[in-house]
Amino acid sequence: MSETETLPLIGQVLRASTVGFVCGTRSQSIEHPAFGAFVRTQPDDLSGLSVIGLIHAISIDDDPLVRQMILANNMNPATIRDQRENRMVPLEISVLNVGYEQNGQIAQALPPRPPLSLDPVYLCDAATVARFTARLDFLRLILSASDVPTEELLAAALKAAARVRPEAERRAFLVEAGRQLAGLLSQDLPRLQYVLRLLTPA
What is the structure's pLDDT at 44?
72
pLDDT at position 6: 60
How is 129-186 classified by DSSP, letter by letter?
HHHHTTS-THHHHHHT-SSS-HHHHHHHHHHHHHHTS-HHHHHHHHHHHHHHHHHHTT
CB neighbourhood size of 8 (10 A)? 15
- Model pTM score: 0.85
Range of the domain at 73: 2-199
What does the pLDDT read at residue 1?
43
Which DSSP category does 125 fall into? P
Q: What is the spatial distance between Cα 182 and Cα 198, in angstroms, rounded to a whole number? A: 14
pLDDT at 88: 58
> How many domains does the chain fold into?
1
Please give the pLDDT value at position 64.
64
**What integer pLDDT is reported at residue 2 of this predicted model?**
44
140-159 pLDDT, tens digit each = 999 999 999 999 999 999 99
pLDDT tens track for 166-186: 999 999 999 999 999 999 999
Q: Which residues of the chain have pLDDT under 70?
A: 1-6, 27-32, 45, 62-76, 79-89, 202
Give the per-residue pLDDT at 32.
66
